[in-house]
Chain A
Amino acid sequence: MSFGPFLLLAVLEGTVMAAVLALTSVGLSLVFGVMRVVNVAHGEFYMLGAILAWFVTYYLPFPPALAWVAALIIAPLVVAAIAALADTFVLKRLNYAPEATIVATIGLLYMVQQAALTIYGPDARPVAAPFEWRIQLPWFGYSGYKLFVVGAAGVILAAVWLFMTRSTAGLVMRATQIDRDTAQCFGINVDRVYAGTFALGAALAAAAAVLIVPIQQAHYLMGHDPLLLSFIVVIIGGLGSIRGTLVAALVIGLSDGIISMFFSPTLAKIIATLLVALVLVFRPQGLFGARA
């Protein structure tokens, strides 16, 4: 393949990566922004989403397309419920103290991971894509499903954006993020906001996984990479800034796709990590974050 088409392919792969990364990163960013909780278990919510998608598509006697749509609805809901429970029974009891919640979510990470290993097993298992068609470009064929993933991620992100900026619940979340005590003085039930935010963040990770699982297979250790990359994105974008997170996801996703194609995935990760180091040194609040 000559350079031009090769670059196009790399950009396409990078865009798919960026779209899914944006979903997981926005989830992580919301949780940090509103609750000031660094959720180390975020990648496990992603993994749970993928594994639940496998269970749903395997056991529901539906045709693949319908089974997958069912998974896209069920998996995020179940993961959201698990996250809300974790918030109420673990994080709330720690009063959301920053250090304690980091340790607690590390614990949660291992609990979820080992539970998945016990119930689901150590194998990677495929989930059928809801549809199979390839777009035939002059130089190569490309998976129509991958393009669908980009569109679906865009729709979900737009919905989150509208929810945060236009709905009353989103307004309440933003007010709580700014000043928790004053929010309570205006009748806002902060416990409920926190449980809801943690659930929403987890649901976004799970939705990202349901989108990706027809491409990547479900495995109990698959949460590591998205966790690392989401952290990279959230730090570069500015902790708690949704706009920054989206821009950073695009930059990291695209550069990861392109560098992986032209050089190697390892180099891509090295450069991303280096970028984080640079941001932390020269602009610790992130590209779009407010100065603390």
Chain B
Amino acid sequence: MLWVEGVTAGYGNGVVLRDLSFKAAKGQVTCIMGRNGAGKSTLMKAIMGLVPVQSGRILLSGTVLSDLPAHQVPGQGIAYVPQGRRLFGGLTVAENIEIGLLARKRGTRTRDFVLDLFPRLGNRLDQIASTLSGGEQQMLAIARALCIEPEVLLLDEPTEGLQPSMITAIRDTVLKLRETGLATVLVEQRVDAVLRMADRVAFMEQGQIKADVPVAQVQADSALFKQFVGV
């Protein structure tokens, strides 16, 4: 479904991703693990067109995403929850959601679906996004992305800095969305979370995917965690 094909990319003249290949399938959660600075966020940004691809291609169901300007990428059905959330802080919850709806011109039906998923947001539509609690902000970041009605969802460390109950809520949401056939790419550092959510686990080091295995394999043998994440 989403196919990253031998991509080299980076900032300015520097190279971060080196000939990286990677796939994410429909109805599956693919987790990406790797140490700080391995290039996980850079991979997400390259998929979204925010980091220029120097060679290789990124494909989504036959469309070459890497040939499109960044603003045309989400319209192909790909949504992004950036690391650190990157909400439109000075805008209200309702306005953040409205921006999400714009990319594929979705309307109230999508909005209602998303607010059903996160009822807490529905009660705070007029609140300025930057004044939400950390957990609410993460919900809004996910809600805003789902307003695109994506086929592929990129989540970059959505549980970073959240308390356990919030982490559970976000995990439940991810699993619920998987049932709908969404292809999810999840950057996640916590082993227990990965074991509970992932169908596949891809280990990243120095801008490359060094191993890409079904979750059962890492459940049986935690050597890969030790090697790539150090736990």
**Residues of chain A having any CB pair with chain B under 8 Å:** 168, 171-172, 174-175, 178-179, 181-190, 290
- Chain B residue at smallest Cβ distance from A178: B88
Those 5 A-B pairs whose CB atoms lie nearest each other, nearest first:
A187-B103, A184-B70, A182-B86, A184-B71, A189-B71
Residues of chain A contacted by B91 (CB below 8 angstroms): 171, 174-175, 178
Taking the complex as formed, is B213 at the interface, i.e. its CB lies under 8 A from any CB of chain A?
no
Q: A174-B88, A178-B91 are in contact. Are A186 and B99 (CB under 8 A)?
A: yes
A148 CB to nearest chain B CB (Å): 35
Residues of chain B contacted by A290 (CB below 8 angstroms): 90
Residues of chain A contacted by B120 (CB below 8 angstroms): none
**Pick from B50, B72, B99: contact of A181, CB under 8 Å:** B50
**Pick from A178, A179, A181, A186: contact of B102, CB under 8 Å:** A186
Tell me if B71 and A187 are in contact (CB < 8 A).
Answer: yes
Tell me if A185 and B50 are in contact (CB < 8 A).
Answer: yes
B99 CB to nearest chain A CB (Å): 5
Which of the four size classes fits the interface of chain B?
20 to 34
Taking the complex as formed, is B98 at the interface, i.e. its CB lies under 8 A from any CB of chain A?
yes
Whole-angstrom CA separation of A175 from B73 in the bound complex: 18
Tell me if A184 and B86 are in contact (CB < 8 A).
Answer: no
Tell me if B88 and A185 are in contact (CB < 8 A).
Answer: no
The CB with the most chain B CB atoms within 10 A, among A174, A182, A183, A188, is that of A182
- Chain A residue at smallest Cβ distance from B104: A187
Taking the complex as formed, is B39 at the interface, i.e. its CB lies under 8 A from any CB of chain A?
no
Whole-angstrom CA separation of A172 from B91 in the bound complex: 11
Tell me if B90 and A185 are in contact (CB < 8 A).
Answer: no
Tell me if A185 and B80 are in contact (CB < 8 A).
Answer: yes
Whole-angstrom CA separation of A175 from B69 in the bound complex: 18
Tell me if A184 and B90 are in contact (CB < 8 A).
Answer: no
Tell me if A178 and B50 are in contact (CB < 8 A).
Answer: no
Whole-angstrom CA separation of A178 from B103 in the bound complex: 17
Taking the complex as formed, is B160 at the interface, i.e. its CB lies under 8 A from any CB of chain A?
no
